[in-house]
Amino acid sequence: MKIVPEPETEKLDYPTAPNGVHTMKFVGYRPDVSGKPMDVCDFTDGVHGSSLWIRGPIPEEGRKGNLWMYRKLADALGDDASEKYPQTDANGHSLFDPRQFIGRWCKVTVGDYGVNRIDRADPAVVEALKAEAKPEQSANISAGDDIPF
């Protein structure tokens, strides 16, 4: 069997966050990772990191996908992000672009396979974290197509 190697993507250099609820900064968005219809949103608290994987439906494999997580992400990133989500362009694509909101803090629930829930962070917790923040790496943010909703 012959396989085509997947292209390398820059990943965050943080150990994986333990399972549980964390307040983390949204630090990167990678659309179409490995040439698949799968997007990755990266989060870190400066010590640990975790990723939210979002993919469209694959009917032939019986997969429904989880594009609904874009609405959850928008809601978690703030009122301005949440307001952009339902707005669409002439092709019906959402005007919400996660890259515009990199640097915002969210409350994420990390499970065995990365982020499985995302909510708006408590502002008091964010302020406390900012006061003790460490310098962070920048994530690779590559250009991508609009997100179809």
pLDDT-derived band at 145, boundaries 50, 70, 90: very low
pLDDT-derived band at 56, boundaries 50, 70, 90: confident
pLDDT tens digits, one per residue of 28-53: 999 888 767 789 999 999 899 999 99
User: Shortest CA distance to 46 belongs to which of 149, 148, 133?
Assistant: 133
- The pLDDT of residue 133 is 64
pLDDT exceeds 50 at position 139: no
- The pLDDT of residue 98 is 95
Phi/psi of residue 123, nearest 5 degrees: -55, -35
pLDDT exceeds 70 at position 59: yes
pLDDT exceeds 50 at position 25: yes
Structure tokens at 63: 């997969």
Please state the rounded mean pLDDT for residues 8-18.
Answer: 73
- Is the pTM for the entire model greater than 0.75? yes
For 21: left if phi > 0, alpha if psi spans -120 to 50, otherwise beta; the answer is beta
pLDDT-derived band at 140, boundaries 50, 70, 90: very low
For 91: left if phi > 0, alpha if psi spans -120 to 50, otherwise beta; the answer is alpha
pLDDT tens digits, one per residue of 74-113: 999 999 999 999 999 999 989 999 999 999 999 999 999 8
pLDDT exceeds 80 at position 146: no
Domain ranges across the chain? 20-131
- DSSP letters spanning 65-132: --TTHHHHHHHHH-HHHHHHTT-B-TTSBBS--GGGGTT-EEEEEEETTEEEEEEEPPHHHHHHHHHT
